[in-house]
Amino acid sequence: MKPKEQKFIELLEQVDAIIKSAEQLESKYGKELSQVNHAYKKCAVNLIHYMALRSHDITLMQKELRWQGLPDLVNIEGNVMRSLLAIKTILNHLTGKPYYAHRKGTVSIKKSAKILNSNTRALFGYKSKKRRTRIMVTMPKAASKDLKLINDLVILGMNSARINCAHDDTGVWKKIIENVRESSRKNNKEVKIVMDLAGPKIRTGPMKPGPQVICIRPETDAYGKVVVPAKVWLAPPDLAPPSENADVVIPFQEEWISAMTRGTRLEFRDARERACSFELKESEGRGRWAWCYVSAYVTPETSFTLIKEKERGDRIFKIGELPPFEEKIVLRTGDRLILHKEETEGEPARYDESGKLISPAQISCTMPEIFQDVKKGEPVMFDDGKIEGLIKELHPEKLSIVITQAKDKGSKLASDKGINFPESDLSVNGLTQKDREDLKFVSQHADAINLSFVNDVEDVKQLRDILKELKSNIGIILKIETRKGYENLPAILLHTMQSYPVGIMLARGDLAVEVGWKDIAGIQEEIMRISEAAHIPNIWATQVLENLAKKGTPSRAEITDVAVAQRAQCVMLNKGIYIRKAVRLLDRILKQMQGLQKKKKSVPAQLEFARKLKLSRENSSPAS
């Protein structure tokens, strides 16, 4: 036998082994497959076949197929069995057995694309002209009153409007939805409403209130020169800024706000008796945006002088009561932090006159139930991973944490900042009491739900049970934010696919903190592969064009990120004062990349959890 013929025989044996694994796994999980929605029957089977494929190390096999000039296994996520059978047919002929390997009902490349497009349309609506990747935009509170903002976003290319239930209330949500629906009708465009359930977010508790003072600091360079002025929101006390882009919020009486017009100036002497001023830049509803180019400290006693060009006489007024200055804890590597189970006002470390530590810094945790799950020696992350620590002592009412990573000059920790326990097996439930209450509104008004912190099948089961009680067939989008959620993803998907439609959100921020920065690139790639195998659309989320949306100028890294995001079926933008610019640029880049980018993937390595598929909590035996 010639060496080349022997290679073909070996390749045929390897293909047969993968096909056998796929058929065995399909048979093993026949019950789960029978329960999926009829629209997902072929999708679920293909997902099973893909996990069987990934249980094999195909690296050498892939190289050999390429060397022999044969079809390879790259990009077969959406059509696994049809591709394997095609390769087998060719190898059959090359080994002297000229018959076609065929199986009825397998998904072809063309059919795979059609199924994914159909599932994407069901979840995110029809695509925009010359752009297949949808754009989802997070709605600011201002969208409840500003119909023009929503009109602009719809015209610029928004396909889905996202409302985060962690903020505002049903009154605000309803007004936003009414405005989106009205704008959709007006512009003859189908804009879907997607609402985020807040989920069990673990955060730091409140800090001790400080003095009534507002500190204003513009952004400076290494030489102390101002490169970006501080953005100050001036408005009546009951009016929050329309975006999260305000550096400072200062309350004024309505009559004084109405006197402020573009080009006027507010002069004042701050708490240090330093001469300062605000430049009025633009009006937005009942509020005003002003720029400040110097550091300043404003107190209730600060007097402001309103100066207008070509107008004689100045107006002098004060602002009155201010919210207390929020204290922050400064933490350095080696410092100790006490995390309390019960709500305790946080405070920085205290030292005596000689610099000796009297008491370490302390703060509370908003979710006391995690104390029963964490263990000594496990890592803790604060504020999206900006501060890292290690649990050194474990007590019933508190944790003693040693800071292992912070900025050289110290990192600041404030209230309401995220806490992550990346290696702890937390038994925190996926749905909070607030989520359950919000679902009564969401199930009746939204097109889809974003389910936060999905860790296992039980999280989805609870949601589906509640939706059944509410008689709602709303779409479900799974936010994958933990390693546990990633490793259980195939099982989670198969259960969720009992509903229709279904999607996945790549929540890269929390996921990166949970899995570590060194693993996030590989894991987000695997999530996209698995979702493609199930013909489930995914959303590329977290900090997309964040700098542009909030500061008006994109970074080079953001542009590159968007170019990669084009592989997803939807890209999500967070709110910001320059959100119109962000949508316009995102629309343009996605259109350009659609014509330029082709999928270039490396051969996937053997997936550790593919053999047991993670379809249940039990340890399944590997498919042989």
Please, which pLDDT band fits residue 612 given cuts at 50, 70 and 90? low
pLDDT at 603 over 50: yes
The predicted-structure confidence for 389-400, as pLDDT tens digits, reads as follows: 999 999 999 999
Residue, of 297 and 514, whose pLDDT is higher:
297
Sequence-ordered list of residues with C-beta below 8 angstroms from that of 65, at least 6 positions apart, any chain: 11, 71, 72, 73, 87
- Rounded mean pLDDT, 60-85: 92
- Cβ(205)–Cβ(329) under 8 Å? no
- Rounded mean pLDDT, 371-393: 93
Number of domains making up the chain: 4
Q: What is the pLDDT of residue 13?
A: 93
181 and 242 both lie in a single domain: no
Residue 376 lies in a domain: yes
Domain end position, chosen among 288, 318, 348: 318
Please, which pLDDT band fits residue 72 given cuts at 50, 70 and 90? confident
pLDDT at 311 over 70: no
Please, which pLDDT band fits residue 241 given cuts at 50, 70 and 90? confident
CA distances for 40 relative to 49, 468, 469, 500, 613, angstroms: 14, 19, 23, 8, 18
Domain residues for the domain of 517 are 115-202+427-596
Q: What is the pLDDT of residue 565?
A: 85
pLDDT at 88 over 90: yes
pLDDT-wise least confident of 273-282, 356-365, 503-512, 595-604:
595-604
pLDDT at 616 over 60: no
Write out the H or E segment, with its range, that includes residue 542: none
566 and 441 both lie in a single domain: yes
- Rounded mean pLDDT, 417-440: 88
313 and 349 both lie in a single domain: no
Residue 615 lies in a domain: no
Q: What is the pLDDT of residue 604?
A: 67
Sequence-ordered list of residues with C-beta below 8 angstroms from that of 43, at least 6 positions apart, any chain: 36, 115, 119, 497, 534, 535, 536
Selection from 568, 569, 530, 565 nearest residue 545 by Cα = 565
Residue 12 lies in a domain: yes
Selection from 478, 480, 534, 474 nearest residue 499 by Cα = 474
445 and 577 both lie in a single domain: yes
446 and 507 both lie in a single domain: yes
Q: What is the pLDDT of residue 529?
A: 93
Residue 616 lies in a domain: no
Q: What is the pLDDT of residue 138?
A: 95
The predicted-structure confidence for 114-150, as pLDDT tens digits, reads as follows: 999 999 999 999 889 889 999 999 999 889 988 999 9
Q: What is the CATH number of the domain that holds 379?
A: 2.40.33.10
7 and 67 both lie in a single domain: yes
Sequence-ordered list of residues with C-beta below 8 angstroms from that of 225, at least 6 positions apart, any chain: none
Domain end position, chosen among 272, 294, 318: 318
Residue 390 lies in a domain: yes
- Rounded mean pLDDT, 356-363: 92
Q: What is the CATH number of the domain that holds 505?
A: 3.20.20.60
Residue, of 252 and 83, whose pLDDT is higher:
83
Please, which pLDDT band fits residue 621 given cuts at 50, 70 and 90? very low
Domain end position, chosen among 382, 404, 420: 420
181 and 251 both lie in a single domain: no
Residue 208 lies in a domain: no
Residue, of 249 and 195, whose pLDDT is higher:
195
- Rounded mean pLDDT, 60-74: 90
480 and 591 both lie in a single domain: yes
Q: What is the pLDDT of residue 211?
A: 81
Residue, of 612 and 78, whose pLDDT is higher:
78
Residue, of 562 and 42, whose pLDDT is higher:
42
Please, which pLDDT band fits residue 602 given cuts at 50, 70 and 90? low
Please, which pLDDT band fits residue 313 given cuts at 50, 70 and 90? low
Please, which pLDDT band fits residue 96 given cuts at 50, 70 and 90? confident
Residue 479 lies in a domain: yes
Q: What is the mean pLDDT of the chain?
A: 88
Q: In sequence order, what are the beta bridge partners of 403?
A: 389
Place of tokens 């998907």: 493
- Rounded mean pLDDT, 177-192: 95
Size of the chain in residues: 624
Residue 584 and residue 78: Cα distance in Å, rounded?
Answer: 31
- Rounded mean pLDDT, 453-463: 92
- Rounded mean pLDDT, 415-431: 85
472 and 502 both lie in a single domain: yes
Residue 209 lies in a domain: no
Residue 517 and residue 527: Cα distance in Å, rounded?
Answer: 16
Percent of the chain with pLDDT over 90: 57
Q: What is the CATH number of the domain that holds 249?
A: 2.40.33
Please, which pLDDT band fits residue 552 given cuts at 50, 70 and 90? confident
- Rounded mean pLDDT, 564-587: 90
15 and 102 both lie in a single domain: yes
Residue 489's Cβ-count burial label (10 Å; 0-12, 13-18, 19+) is buried
DSSP states along 64-128:
HHHHTT---STT-TTSHHHHHHHHHHHHHHHTT-------TTPPPHHHHHHHHHHHHHHHH-SPB
109 and 186 both lie in a single domain: no
514 and 461 both lie in a single domain: yes
Tokens of residue 230, six digits: 């501080």
Give the torsion through C-alpha atoms of 468, 470, 473, 477, to 10 deg. -90
pLDDT-wise least confident of 44-53, 75-84, 217-226, 241-250:
241-250
